[in-house]
Amino acid sequence: MSDPVPEGSEPHDPLTRRLTVLSGPSGVGKSTVVAEIRRSHPRVWLSVSVTTRPPRPGETHGVQYYFVDDAGFDRLVDEGELLEWAEFAGNRYGTPRRPVEERLARGEPVLLEIDLQGARQVRRSMAEARLVFLAPPSWQELVRRLTGRGTEPPEVVQRRLDAARVELAAEKEFDVTLVNTSVQDVCDELLALMVVH
Ligand code: 5GP
């Protein structure tokens, strides 16, 4: 598997090298993969993002996300508490900086599940992070998953499809592509990538 050192960066900083970023279009199954890792490998630490999006049924504050209002999110941005953040389909999402930095400083692996804009910010600020692109088996399958979720109004689904089209074109910016044909296989491949050799 390719493991390029981006141009202009220092070769292999052993700390940021432990940062793995999982990205890919909305609906591709990133959160299912992350939920499966959480279930099967509870010792793997996963960053919990902050979002202004309302919780979906079954989501718990502090587990899938920290749910905050706009003012709360503004405060985190102003105080420099977010490692990266992005607006996605009308809501804002960000990665709390401190827990990530603390774990990297201890040499522990960190996994972020974030959108493309966030992945690009991480690429700029932590050049040694490994960026993993989760791809759908096909465009038809992605449309089926996004429309079948049934939790979002049609205009939100449409915005996510528009975003997915743009995100699919970004695959070449990533170090590794994993195709989500089987959640278990993707988890195994991802966990293998997170081990620093
Ligand atoms: P969802 O609303 O489906 O949970 O997430 C929508 C998108 O936001 C997904 O592509 C997800 O990866 C992304 N996302 C979740 N947390 C973060 C974050 O902390 N930062 C960024 N940039 N994107 C995030």
CATH number for position 68: 3.40.50.300
Least confident among 5-14, 87-96, 129-138, 182-191: 5-14
3-state secondary structure 63-129: CCEEECCHHHHHHHHHCCCEEEEEEECCEEEEEEHHHHHHHHHCCCCEEEECCHHHHHHHHHHCCCC
Q: Is 133 in the pocket of ligand 1 (CB under 6 A)?
A: no
189 confidence band (pLDDT: 50, 70, 90): very high
Residue 5 lies in a domain: no
Give me the mean pLDDT over the 24-34 stretch.
90
What CA–CA distance (Å, rounded) separates 176 from 130?
Answer: 8
Residue 13 lies in a domain: no
- CA-nearest residue for atom 1, ligand 1, is 26
Question: What pLDDT, on the 0 to 100 scale, is given for residue 48?
Answer: 95
What CA–CA distance (Å, rounded) separates 95 from 112?
Answer: 8
Residue 8 has pLDDT above 90, yes or no: no
Give me the mean pLDDT over the 171-197 stretch.
92
Residue 186 lies in a domain: yes
Question: What pLDDT, on the 0 to 100 scale, is given for residue 10?
Answer: 45
Q: Is 121 in the pocket of ligand 1 (CB under 6 A)?
A: no
pLDDT digits (tens, 9 = 90+) for 82-125: 999 999 889 999 999 999 999 999 988 999 999 999 999 999 99
For residues 67 and 54, is the Cβ–Cβ distance under 8 A?
yes
How much distance in Å is there from the Cα of 33 to the middle of ligand 1?
A: 14
Residue 154 domain boundaries? 19-193
Residue 159 has pLDDT above 50, yes or no: yes
Residue 95 lies in a domain: yes
Residue 124 lies in a domain: yes
Question: What pLDDT, on the 0 to 100 scale, is given for residue 5?
Answer: 43
> How many domains does the chain fold into?
1
- CA-nearest residue for atom 21, ligand 1, is 114
How much distance in Å is there from the Cα of 163 to the middle of ligand 1?
A: 12
For residues 19 and 131, is the Cβ–Cβ distance under 8 A?
no
Q: Is 113 in the pocket of ligand 1 (CB under 6 A)?
A: yes
35: enclosing H helix or E strand: helix 30-40
Residue 173 has pLDDT above 70, yes or no: yes
Residue 14 lies in a domain: no
11-20, 120-129, 171-180, range with greatest mean pLDDT = 171-180
Give me the mean pLDDT over the 120-142 stretch.
93
Q: Is 94 in the pocket of ligand 1 (CB under 6 A)?
A: yes
- b vs e for 6-41, b when ≥16 Cβ sit within 10 Å of the residue's Cβ? eeeeeeeeebbbbbbbbbbbbbbbbbebbbbbeeee
Q: Is the dihedral of CA 85, 88, 92, 93 positive or negative?
A: negative
If you average pLDDT over every residue of the chain, what do you get? 88
Residues 6+ apart with CB under 8 A from 88: 26, 115, 117, 163
Residue 10 lies in a domain: no
Residue 7 has pLDDT above 50, yes or no: no
Give me the mean pLDDT over the 27-51 stretch.
92
- CA-nearest residue for atom 10, ligand 1, is 115
Residue 2 lies in a domain: no
